[in-house]
Chains A and B, each alone.
Chain A
Amino acid sequence: MVRKTAGQNETPLLEIKELQTGFKIGKNYYNAVEKVSLKVDRRKIVGIVGESGCGKSVMSLSVMQLLPQGIGKVRGGEIKFEGRNLEKLSEREMNKIRGKDISMIFQEPMTALNPVFTIGYQIEEVLLNHEKIDKKEARKKSIALLKSVGIPRPESIVEEYPHQLSGGMRQRVMIAMAIACQPKLLIADEPTTALDVTVQAQILELLKDIQEVNDMAIIMITHDLGVVSEICDEVIVMYAGKIVERTDVMELFDNPKHPYTQLLMNAIPKMDEEVETLATIEGLVPSIQKMPQVGCRFANRCPKAMPECTQITPALAEDEPGHEVACILYENSKQPERVGDR
């Protein structure tokens, strides 16, 4: 393992270029993720925000190579993890990376754990798969892991089954499994959505602590801007399979540029403000079969839409240093979309 070489920041930990992931409906493929490019640097927490159906989970499943077989398929672009193209790896090689270098936690801690195996067994399975240790050591290590994620009386919890734990505890077990082999990248897909706010606060603190101790990068997928503002360094806003805005977290909340981002922010009721009516976004995300091929995908719901919006496909371009947006209200987005920007 070359964990200590993290100082060189020439190769990003994860680099996705022009990713296109499609789903088969009838005989045709329709893209749920359309030419998405992004980079995740070591030790960074990158948030991906968007509403249901914006492609955020599909993108993470593409990275993990866990798309439903025969239905979902990466149809273009590259996913490079530490310089290796994950698409070109065999299933065996990918199995070595999955759970070890990249791991994932899911939204539903109730369904992500296997109900017929003990907690201990499920954590040990990860360890035995990836590390050269025996069962005894694995048991010891899994107790230590449970302790590190704040589970009380870990010695007896290892013998228990998932149904005996509360939602927050199960999510902690999921996290313990995910960090068992000290991955370099953790993909957290809505890890706190199913939890109560007080438990959510506990889990977010825990993720932040682990990230610091383990020098891990996190991709935090969420629909909750509050969660983003709490823990992320960089934010990507997605709409209908495309990135519409990308910048660091302070800048995004100070100066949201894309009309979609602005609406999302005004749609949430705030604790310290009194507003009579909340901002709404009329209409619906177009279904992937009916996605407009030319023009901005948000145009039909956008309050600032102009006639050109349906003719020019906006490019994701820097409007200010470090702040990219894909909307023709900003001059740089008007250039035709860059192809194969290397």
Chain B
Amino acid sequence: MNMTETRETTAQPPETEKEVLLDIQNLKTYYPIKGGFLKRTIGNVKAVDDINIQIKKGETMGLVGESGCGKSTTGRTILRLLTPTEGKILFDGKDITNIRGNELRKARQDFQMVFQDPYASLNPTQSVGDIVSEPIRNYRKVSKKSLKPEILELLRRVGLPAEAYDKYAHEFSGGQRQRIGIARALALKPKLIVADEPVSALDVSVQSQVLNLLKELQDEFDLTFLFIAHDLSVVKHMSDRIGVMYLGNMVEVATNKSLYAEPLHPYTQALISAIPETDPKKRKERIVLQGDVPSPANPPSGCPFHTRCPMAKAECAEIKPALKEVKPGHHVACILY
């Protein structure tokens, strides 16, 4: 993926010249496996294994895949909550791959995160006002009192009443807590928000409220999103472009329309086919994958998907296909193409 091909995208003609906000090059994040008496590293869990992502300003990039495919690790590495093993992360033109200490702290003002579990990600001993104002107080020497009008405005914007300011997280429902989490992420007016499964713990009716809110906020605050989820229909609703991950690898990247209209990678096809149809008349013959995702500590040779792929050939066990552009804006890593 490089800048030149974005011009060829026919789907959205005038806006394609947007600046790249986040550029990830050959990113690898491995978790070491320690073992033996001396606790030496005896192997690596290759959670993210050589991926490239570019996200343009104002765009929503979706990441989908099954549990254990490395999508959350990718999100966390981008926010530098984890240090990448190899590769480069360029944020707004600046290399943030190895920055540390104060420099990293300053850089983090521009990227924030919304977490999956709205129950665990809010401090139960702090009031909502404290939770939402904390990011600002961390960077500016201001009193909580003087921030109150700003925080109330943020709360109002995410759909919470002003009374919420003095309440505690446990007094709210799951959906409202997620709104608190969103307000906290917005407090510093970041450029990028990584939303890691922000709605998977919520009921459908509440899920739709939060999704609508995120979309509105994106327009209003000019946000760029990396939207991580396992639910394909949610990702499709939210994203402009989608990356499909399998076992630490990016197997397909395309615009949301072409990914769903014409999935190319056998894994993407299986994933889309596995979604329960919400119309009983369309009950279909589906591609049911056999078995489970292999362990990323010991990934299969060649194409990571060949052990479960219904179209696997002998070569698949040997050649690891690279992600290549087979149509304008549509990249796939499979030897069939």
- Name A's B-contacting residues (CB within 8 A): 51-52, 152, 166-169, 196-202, 204-205, 223-227, 229-230, 249-250, 253, 263-265, 267-272, 275-282, 284
Output the least CB separation between A332 and chain B (Å): 25
Shortest 8 CB-CB contacts between residues of A and residues of B? A226-B276, A269-B237, A278-B208, A281-B205, A201-B274, A267-B208, A196-B66, A51-B203
B274 and A197 form a contact (CB under 8 A): yes
Contact of A271 among B233, B286, B290 (CB under 8 A): B233
B204 and A268 form a contact (CB under 8 A): yes
Count chain B residues whose beta carbon lies closer than 8 angstroms to a beta carbon of A. 40
Stretch at the interface among B96-104, B161-169, B277-285: B277-285
Stretch at the interface among B6-14, B106-114, B177-185, B209-217: B209-217
B236 and A250 form a contact (CB under 8 A): no
A202 and B289 form a contact (CB under 8 A): yes
Q: Give Cα distance in the complex from A263 to B207, angstroms.
A: 12
Output the least CB separation between A217 and chain B (Å): 19
Kindly state whether residue B186 has any CB partner on chain A within 8 Å.
no
B283 and A230 form a contact (CB under 8 A): yes
Contact of B271 among A197, A229, A264, A267 (CB under 8 A): A197
Q: List 29 A-B contacts (CB under 8 A).
A: A167-B67, A196-B230, A197-B231, A197-B232, A197-B275, A198-B289, A201-B274, A201-B288, A202-B289, A223-B204, A225-B278, A226-B276, A226-B277, A229-B276, A253-B281, A264-B205, A267-B207, A268-B208, A268-B278, A271-B232, A271-B233, A271-B236, A271-B260, A276-B215, A277-B212, A280-B205, A280-B208, A280-B212, A282-B209
Supposing A197-B275, A279-B208, A280-B208 touch, asked if A270 and B233 sit within 8 A by C-beta, the answer is yes
Output the least CB separation between B204 and chain A (Å): 5
Given contacts A196-B230, A223-B203, A225-B278, 11 further A-B contacts (CB under 8 A): A152-B291, A196-B66, A197-B66, A198-B271, A200-B276, A224-B276, A253-B280, A264-B204, A275-B237, A278-B211, A281-B205
Question: Which residues of B sit under 8 angstroms from A202, Cβ to Cβ?
Answer: 288-290
Supposing A230-B276, A269-B237, A280-B208 touch, asked if A198 and B67 sit within 8 A by C-beta, the answer is no
Supposing A271-B233, A277-B215, A279-B208 touch, asked if A52 and B66 sit within 8 A by C-beta, the answer is no
- 0/1 interface trace, chain B 228-258, chain A, CB 8 Å (1 if under): 0011111011000000000000000000000
B236 and A51 form a contact (CB under 8 A): no
Question: Which residues of A sit under 8 angstroms from B212, Cβ to Cβ?
Answer: 277-278, 280
Residue of B nearest to A268 (CB): B204
Q: Give Cα distance in the complex from A227 to B274, angstroms.
A: 11
Residue of B nearest to A278 (CB): B208
Question: Which residues of B sit under 8 angstroms from A166, Cβ to Cβ?
Answer: 292
Output the least CB separation between B103 and chain A (Å): 38
Supposing A201-B286, A205-B288, A223-B203 touch, asked if A269 and B276 sit within 8 A by C-beta, the answer is no
Output the least CB separation between A15 and chain B (Å): 25
B205 and A253 form a contact (CB under 8 A): no
A229 and B280 form a contact (CB under 8 A): yes
Q: Give Cα distance in the complex from A223 to B290, angstroms.
A: 26
Kindly state whether residue B173 has any CB partner on chain A within 8 Å.
yes
Residue of B nearest to A226 (CB): B276
Q: Give Cα distance in the complex from A21 to B42, angstroms.
A: 55
Which residue, A152, A169, A281, has most C-beta atoms of chain B within 10 A? A281
Question: Which residues of A sit under 8 angstroms from B274, Cβ to Cβ?
Answer: 197-198, 200-201
- Name B's A-contacting residues (CB within 8 A): 66-67, 173, 203-209, 211-212, 215, 230-234, 236-237, 260, 270-281, 283, 286, 288-292
Question: Which residues of A sit under 8 angstroms from B260, Cβ to Cβ?
Answer: 271-272
Q: Give Cα distance in the complex from A154 to B153, angstroms.
A: 59
Q: Give Cα distance in the complex from A169 to B278, angstroms.
A: 26
Residue of A nearest to B175 (CB): A284
Residue of B nearest to A252 (CB): B280
B237 and A278 form a contact (CB under 8 A): yes
Output the least CB separation between B16 and chain A (Å): 20
Supposing A202-B289, A271-B236 touch, asked if A230 and B277 sit within 8 A by C-beta, the answer is yes
Contact of A253 among B204, B230, B236, B278 (CB under 8 A): B278
A196 and B281 form a contact (CB under 8 A): no
Q: Give Cα distance in the complex from A281 to B280, angstroms.
A: 24
Contact of A249 among B230, B237, B280 (CB under 8 A): B280
Supposing A202-B288, A249-B280, A253-B278 touch, asked if A271 and B211 sit within 8 A by C-beta, the answer is no
Question: Which residues of B sit under 8 angstroms from A225, Cβ to Cβ?
Answer: 204, 278
Contact of B292 among A169, A270, A278, A280 (CB under 8 A): A169
Output the least CB separation between A271 and chain B (Å): 5
B281 and A250 form a contact (CB under 8 A): yes
Residue of A nearest to B290 (CB): A202
Supposing A197-B232, A267-B208, A277-B215 touch, asked if A52 and B203 sit within 8 A by C-beta, the answer is yes
Question: Which residues of A sit under 8 angstroms from B273, Cβ to Cβ?
Answer: 201
Q: Give Cα distance in the complex from A228 to B204, angstroms.
A: 14
Output the least CB separation between A261 and chain B (Å): 11
Q: Give Cα distance in the complex from A169 to B292, angstroms.
A: 9
B173 and A284 form a contact (CB under 8 A): yes
Which residue, A263, A271, A276, A279, has most C-beta atoms of chain B within 10 A? A271
Question: Which residues of A sit under 8 angstroms from B276, Cβ to Cβ?
Answer: 200-201, 204, 224, 226-227, 229-230
Output the least CB separation between A122 and chain B (Å): 20
Question: Which residues of A sit under 8 angstroms from B208, Cβ to Cβ?
Answer: 267-269, 278-280
Question: Which residues of A sit under 8 angstroms from B289, Cβ to Cβ?
Answer: 198, 201-202
B279 and A229 form a contact (CB under 8 A): yes
Q: Give Cα distance in the complex from A227 to B277, angstroms.
A: 8
Output the least CB separation between A203 and chain B (Å): 10
Q: Give Cα distance in the complex from A268 to B207, angstroms.
A: 8
Supposing A202-B289, A268-B208 touch, asked if A197 and B278 sit within 8 A by C-beta, the answer is no
B270 and A198 form a contact (CB under 8 A): yes
A268 and B286 form a contact (CB under 8 A): no
Question: Which residues of A sit under 8 angstroms from B207, Cβ to Cβ?
Answer: 267
Output the least CB separation between A224 and chain B (Å): 7
B270 and A269 form a contact (CB under 8 A): no
Question: Which residues of B sit under 8 angstroms from A152, Cβ to Cβ?
Answer: 291
B279 and A253 form a contact (CB under 8 A): yes
Question: Which residues of A sit under 8 angstroms from B270, Cβ to Cβ?
Answer: 198
